[in-house]
Structure 1
Amino acid sequence: MAAITTPNLTPPRLKLVLNLLSVYTLWGSTYLFIHFMTEHMPPLYMAGCRLLTAGLILYPYARLTGHARPTKQEWLSAGLVGVLLLAIANGGMTVAIQYVPTGIAALLSGMLPLFIMVLNWLTFSKVKPSKLALSGLLVGLVGIGLLVKPGGFQSTSSESWLGIGIIMLCNLSWATGTLLSGRLKLPNQLVSSAVQMLVGGGMLLLVSLVVEPVNLASISYAPTKAIASLIYLVIFGSIIGFTSFAWLARNAPPQLVSTYAYVNPVVAMLLGWAFAGEVLPGQSLVAGLIILSGVVLISLGRKR
């Protein structure tokens, strides 16, 4: 990384850009693969297997490459963040996708910047966001509104509304975990990500064994499509994507970190159109451009 230099892009800046691109694109694809993973398998069980597998790969790798063993306090702090980000938010999203289409789930997740901005303003930093950042937030929400389409939920079933409520809870939990990440005593970034996955995945698996008709060996009955999706999510969604997010949560302003929630719905809808036969009308393309405009405004507003 340090060997790559350009006249106007320093290595730390390049690392920021690469981590943002990782979260923007890889996490945008996870909605579709979560759907594939849980079509014929219980959601909490598969989410727990995904996160626990990723943690069991990442933690030994971190230790073998010289990263220090986390202290008890660091385990507790990283575990708390893992519960908020992964057990509640990620696990909840996996459940919610059973009740709402992947595109709608991604769109509702796009409300996350509002949760982060308001929580940071009222409870954490007590600092009002800049006018430019607020403008970017509003522009992004307008784009999300166009994607959802007014009146789109008028005939929604009670089960779909349950999914919508779960996603709102996921947004609140993820926003809280994101803001806490920069304030708690956490271990090295790689170790912290591994601990969060181990704690979050372990909790999901324990809950699954209690509330879902599964046992530890149920993964052996999963169809090939579910296993392939699980492998993709472990590598790209958890190990690469979540590690990139963990770095951003500790090194970038909350408003900038939250912009991924504007881009992910666009990626999710494009993938749904390409691989799941979902319709992508012209209005959605226009909304995508508006969303990206909001990302630019928030990114500029963080400097004011």
Structure 2
Amino acid sequence: MNPVYVNKVQPPRLTLWMALISVYVLWGSTYLFVHFMTEKMPPLYMASLRLSTAGLILFLYARLTGTPVPAPKQWLSAGIIGVLLLTIANGSMSVALQYVPSSIAALLAALVPLFIILFNWVGFGHIRPTNLSLAGLVLGLMGVSLLVQPSGSGMVSTNNTWIGVALIMVANVSWAVGTLLSSRLTLPSQLISSAIQMLVGGLVLFLLSMITENVTLTSIGHAPVKAIGSLVYLIIFGSIIGFSSFAWLARNAPPQLVSTYAYVNPVVAMLLGWAFAGETLNAYSILAALVILSGVVLITLGRK
């Protein structure tokens, strides 16, 4: 979601860079660990456990530190955002990683700003993008067309590949709509709001998993060590620490600095996928990545 810079006091430089590096590396690594988590386990089931556990921990922490219980309207609003951002967007991404490499998924996910400014233009704020943002839109679309070509990008163009790409586009659309709705709904304080979003999003994912996947309540007992380790990593580092770092940045750093995660995360994901998952990293995929990330940079600069 778009960070709001509300603290005019200059934050400590060391704390600022530690928080930035945390968001860069931890969020960039989530694509690889989701891939590891769901290699031999149902993706919706594992994603639901990750979100529900992280949400429960955050909710208990918020209550223990004195955050009041939200009103029913705030629960409903946070639940709606949770379904959009986590059930649909996170769930779609988890399934998509069954079909496309984590590095490609991260690059396509970097196009979320494209959908945000498009929907804000045609449906929400009716705000025309700047010329710089429009140039970024064109570049981003060009990068996607390069990325999904079968001639050397590291992806084999099959029906399954296109299923993965389509699911990531669904995730991007849902994340953009959820982001734009977040500023229009009555939400509780940020910490407990995120906790409710994770709890509701995780619960709905779990129900979907029970309906569509061959799982039971005790299926986690059959998960391999690699999947369990990845699940624990995503709960602690991807959801709790990564989120906390982002929440601190949202209140203490300029938005143009915070938004750089949108084009640093895919680079981290590409390098980790190449180093630890044997994913292809060649000149063609690097060219497509540079085009997409250049488009995201222009969109970010245009939104300033």
Q: Structure 1 252/190 Cα, relative in aligned 2: closer, same or farther at 3 Å?
A: same
What pairs with 1:12-91 in structure 2 (closer than 5 Å)?
21-91=21-91
Q: Which residue of the partner structure matches residue 5 of structure 2?
A: none
Could you say what secondary structure the match of 1:95 adopts? helix
Whichever residue aligns with residue 131 of structure 1, its letter is: N
C-alpha distance in 1 between matches for 2:85 and 2:250: 11
Q: Which moved more, 1:241-250 or 1:213-222?
A: 241-250
Kept after mapping to 2: 8 A contact 1:48/1:205 = yes
1:36 alignment partner AA: F
Q: Aligned partners of 2:16 and 2:182: how far apart in 1?
A: 17
In the aligned structure 2, how far is the partner of 1:14 from the partner of 1:139? 34
Identify unmatched segments of 5+ residues in structure 1.
1-7
State the percentage of identical aligned residues: 66
1:3 maps to: none
SS at match of 1:11: coil
The answer to whether the 8 Å contact 2:263/2:297 transfers is no
Shift of 1:205: 0.9
Query: Is residue 123 of structure 1 aligned with residue 136 of structure 2?
Result: no
Secondary structure at 2:44 match in 1: helix
How big is the shift at 1:256?
Answer: 8.1
Q: CA deviation at 1:244?
A: 5.1
TM-score, normalising length: structure 1: 0.84
**Does the 8 Å contact 1:147/1:287 carry over to 2?**
yes
Q: Please give the residue correspondences for 1:1-304 in structure 2 after superposition, counting only pairs within 5 Å.
A: 10-11=10-11, 21-143=21-143, 146-148=146-148, 151=151, 156-243=157-244, 260-285=261-286, 288=289, 292-303=293-304
CA contact (8 A) 1:181 1:249 kept: no
Q: What code does the residue aligned with 1:51 have?
A: L
Letter in 1 for 2:272: L
- Relative distance call for 1:42 and 1:204 in structure 2 (3 A) is same
Distance 1:156 1:238, change over 3 A: same
The one-character-per-residue Cα deviations of 1:32-89 (angstroms, maximum 9, x if unpaired) are 1011001111111100000001011110001111112111111001100000000011
CA deviation map 1:98-126 (0-9, x unaligned): 12222222222232221111001111121
Equivalent residue letter for 1:240: I
The letter for the 2-side match of 1:239 is I
Q: Distance in 2 between matches of 1:231 and 1:250?
A: 27
How well do the aligned residues superpose, as a CA RMSD in angstroms? 3.3
- What CA distance in whole angstroms lies between the structure 2 residues aligned with 1:13 and 1:123? 39
Tell me the CA shift for residue 245 of structure 1.
5.4
Aligned residues: 296
TM-score (norm 2): 0.84
> 2-side partners of 1:225 and 1:97: how far apart?
16
Displacement after TM superposition at 1:136 (Å): 3.8
Deviation at 1:177, TM superposition (A): 0.5
- Mapped contact 1:62–1:190 kept (Cα < 8 A): yes
User: In 1, distance between residues paired with 2:202 and 2:145?
Assistant: 33
Query: Any stretches of 5+ residues in structure 2 without a counterpart?
Result: 1-7
Q: What is the CA-CA distance between 1:248 and the residue it aligns to?
A: 7.5
CA change 1:106–1:292 in 2 (3 A) is: closer
Question: Aligned partners of 2:263, 2:145: CA distance in 1, in Å?
Answer: 11
